Amino acid sequence: YTAGSTGRPRGAVATHLAQAGAALDARYRAAASALERGGIPGMGAAPVIPVTLPFFRLAAFGDFYGAMAAGGTLVLTEAEAEGEGEGEAEGEAGTEGAGGTEGAEGTAYNIDATPVTEVRIVAPSGSGDPLPDGATGELWLRGQPLLRGYWRDPGATAEAFSDGWFRTGDLAVRREGRVTVVGRAQAADRPEAADRP
């Protein structure tokens, strides 16, 4: 289920193929990122993903699966305040990921935040026409790891898709192939959603 940060939680229906593809892609990207830094997987710098426990949802444990599958190490700290514990994996290369429940494992999951699914940044009006690099627009996604639709909610499914593209509702900008989410395209339906990162 989605977190419901902009409305009620919805069941995101993903196929087995989407889940398998997302898991394999995360492992591949984690291993390949070591090569991009000039190392050999298992012999060079292993990817590190700092995470905060407890997770909001159990499925989030998959978020660091790729790094561990490529030889990364799980480092637990006793830090309780934000920012404490930094530097405990000093010298390790970091990676970051982004994505929602609708994207199975994630949509950007590697060392330089380039997307792992097909991405289009479009005018917030919803025309679907791609914007040039550097322009802010709504983030649309298409690819194997995306949901098939919302469970028993054909209206929400129809609203979320346009010609095979999933409309995330996020505002984003792409520069030289790297995507940065900068906000939401629509106001949150619930007041408490504004406080969520």
Whether residue 6 lies inside any domain: the answer is no
Confidence check: pLDDT of 90 > 60: no
* Mean per-residue pLDDT, 175-179: 84
Query: Across the chain, what does the average pLDDT equal?
Result: 68
The pLDDT, as a whole number, for residue 192 is 41
In a domain, 162, yes or no: yes
Say if residue 12's pLDDT is above 80.
Answer: yes
**Domain-embedded: residue 131:** yes
Say whether 120 sits in a helix, a strand or coil. Answer: strand
Range of the domain at 57: 12-195
Is 21 part of any domain? yes
CB 181 within 8 A of CB 173: no
Looking at the chain, list the stretches that DSSP marks H as alpha helix, in order from N- to C-terminal side: 16-36, 65-69, 154-160
- Residue range 108-126, pLDDT digits in tens: 544 455 555 788 889 877 7
Q: Beta-carbon neighbour count of residue 167 at 10 Å? A: 18
Percent of the chain with pLDDT over 70: 47
**What pTM did the predictor assign?**
0.61
The answer, yes or no, to whether residue 75 has pLDDT greater than 50, is yes
Residue 141 resides in a domain = yes
Q: What is the dihedral of CA 73, 45, 119, 160, to 10 degrees?
A: 10
Residue 10 CA to residue 45 CA, distance in Å, equals 39
Does pLDDT of 168 surpass 60? yes
Can you tell me the mean pLDDT for 72-86? Answer: 53
Residue 7 lies in a domain: no
What is the number of domains present in the chain?
A: 1
Average pLDDT over residues 168-189: 79
3 in a structural domain = no
- Indicate whether 63 pLDDT > 60: no
Q: CATH number for the domain including 39? A: 2.30.38.10
In order of 84, 85, 162, 173, the CA distances from 166 in angstroms are 37, 37, 7, 17
Stated length of the chain: 197
